[in-house]
């Protein structure tokens, strides 16, 4: 006595999984040494497609790229020379596999420049204030990258070319400047340093070197400079996350697939 043919729904789904997504061959397949009747071929092909849709929906929990902010900080302006710092968040490796990080460093200043012409005649002069910001980090590999690139931000505050009469004193400001530096590809070789089970924090620090350059004036123009500066930073992570539960749309697709399988079985019966 021949063994009964396996329920086609179970057979197709089991075959699809065991063969890792390969479809059934178009030739006759035997189950328990019993040939599948030729008139079932159309039904088989339809169920192949339906089984694929169902399993694809069930696989919607597969890994996908996601983005997460690691926080930011912005220090207040302070008289130079400054030494400031702030904390950012490490990536929690429990969330998934870290794919990339983008670190943005920021700097700003506010400067007042006073020029006095001590010559007996008028002088053409331009003053340019400058603040250079040097960054560091508690992450040793990142600190090494900073050390090789410092100063990462340079702020310039020019007065423009001016004519000062003999004995004239003129004030310029407050002159404001801001800039930023972004690192992404540079962090790829040290990406593991930003990932830790449970997360945590790391620090970014900055120091300033400020100065003033004069063009013109014949050495007869005196200058004074008052400067405030500040720095900040932010970081964003890209990672490979895995859904813990199927999305509502995927669940709906699974339901439709199961209904289709049931309807096909009833028609055949």
pLDDT tens, residue order, the chain (269 aa): 444 444 455 445 544 544 544 444 444 444 444 555 555 455 555 555 455 554 544 555 556 889 999 999 999 999 999 999 999 999 999 999 999 999 999 999 999 999 999 999 999 999 999 999 999 999 999 999 999 999 999 999 999 999 999 999 999 999 999 999 999 999 999 999 999 999 999 999 999 999 999 999 999 999 999 999 999 999 999 999 866 555 555 455 445 555 555 555 555 55
Angle at 123 between CA 111 and CA 114, to 5 degrees: 20
Closest C-alpha to 202, from 115, 87, 37, 31: 87
In this prediction, residue 241 carries a pLDDT of 87
Given the DSSP bridges, would you call strands 83-89 and 201-216 parallel, antiparallel or unpaired? Answer: antiparallel
Q: What's the pLDDT at 263?
A: 54
pTM summary value: 0.69
- Residue 77, judged by CB atoms within 10 A of its CB (0-12, 13-18, 19+), counts as middle
Domain locations along the chain: 8-62+247-268, 63-242
């Amino acid at each position: 006595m021949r063994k009964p043919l396996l329920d086609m729904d179970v057979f197709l789904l089991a075959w699809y999984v065991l063969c890792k997504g390969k479809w059934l061959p178009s030739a006759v397949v035997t189950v328990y040494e019993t040939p599948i009747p030729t008139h079932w071929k159309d039904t088989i092909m339809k169920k192949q497609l339906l089984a694929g849709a169902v399993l694809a929906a069930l696989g919607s929990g597969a890994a996908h790229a996601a983005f997460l902010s690691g926080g930011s900080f912005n220090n207040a302006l302070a008289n130079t020379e400054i030494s400031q710092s702030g904390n950012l968040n490490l990536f929690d490796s429990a969330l998934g596999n870290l794919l990339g990080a983008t670190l943005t460093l920021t700097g700003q200043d506010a400067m007042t420049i006073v020029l006095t012409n001590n010559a007996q005649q008028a002088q053409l002069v331009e003053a340019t204030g400058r603040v250079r910001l040097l960054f560091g980090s508690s992450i040793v590999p990142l600190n090494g990258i900073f050390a090789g690139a410092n100063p990462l931000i340079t702020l310039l505050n020019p007065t423009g070319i001016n004519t000062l009469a003999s004995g004239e004193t003129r004030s310029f400001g407050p002159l404001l400047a801001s800039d930023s530096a972004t690192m992404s590809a540079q962090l790829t070789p040290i990406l593991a340093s930003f990932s830790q089970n449970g997360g945590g924090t790391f620090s970014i620090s900055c120091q300033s070197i400020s100065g003033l350059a004069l063009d013109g004036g014949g050495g007869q123009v005196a200058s004074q400079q008052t400067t405030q500066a500040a720095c900040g930073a932010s970081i964003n992570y890209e990672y490979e996350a895995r859904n813990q539960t199927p999305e509502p749309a995927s669940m709906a697709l699974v339901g439709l697939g199961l209904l289709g399988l049931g309807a096909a079985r009833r028609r055949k019966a």
